[in-house]
Amino acid sequence: MKQQDFFIVWSKLHGDAKVAGIVKAWLIISFALVKPLSKLKFTPNILTLFGLFFGVLLYINAKSPWAALLLVLSLTCDGIDGSLAILTSKFSKWGALLDSTVDRITEVFWLLTLYKIGADIKLLLAIAVFASVQEYLRARAGGLGMPQVGVVTFAERPVRASFIFIALVASAVDIAIIPQIVILWLLLQVISFLMVTRFLFLNLR
């Protein structure tokens, strides 16, 4: 499959979303990463499970100097499994369900990693609730016939991973800013939840 064909299929699978800007840049990178993986006979579901595997390793090695790298590997596997599915024409409803389920489980390990390096458990639980409900609302909207939730919030999954990455780096260099990072994350997560709720209210009522 050529890169342009890859863009076309991706767009169709995402409600004819425009391939431009940051999205196009990421798809170019993603396409380059999955090309060799397809030749090695990797499957999208294996990549999805590798994302969870690295998430568990991250939790186990939360205080390791390599923790931030494990987070990047976990997020990358999750980010390119869909691209591999397109490239190999192995996308399915089961794969989509597995991907979403594993994403939620992996994020639990991400949050447990923050707890392990000193974050307040009550704030983390609040973040988990708002993030999970936000993703549930999107999934439920799809079940009600909405092809995609057309709103990008302040706390999408890559942003959530960024907060964790910063916290891990701060912990590694002994900078005491983890409480501030978690509070900022919670604030943005609440705002994001309200953004999705408002969008669905206006479009589904």
Q: What is the mean pLDDT of the chain?
A: 89
Query: Residues of 135-172 as b/e, b for ≥16 C-beta within 10 angstroms?
Result: bebbeebeeeebeebeeebebebeebbbbbbbbbebbe
Specify the pLDDT at position 198: 92
Query: Residues of 20-56 as b/e, b for ≥16 C-beta within 10 angstroms?
Result: eeeeeeebeebbebbeebbeeebbbbebbbbbbbbbb
E-only strand ranges, the chain: none
User: What is d(CA 184, CA 163) in angstroms, rounded to the nearest whole number?
Assistant: 9
The pLDDT tens digits of the residues spanning 88-100 come to: 888 788 888 898 8
The pLDDT tens digits of the residues spanning 36-83 come to: 988 888 899 999 999 999 999 999 999 999 999 999 999 999 888 888
Q: Is the pLDDT of residue 112 over 90?
A: yes
- pTM higher than 0.75, yes or no? yes
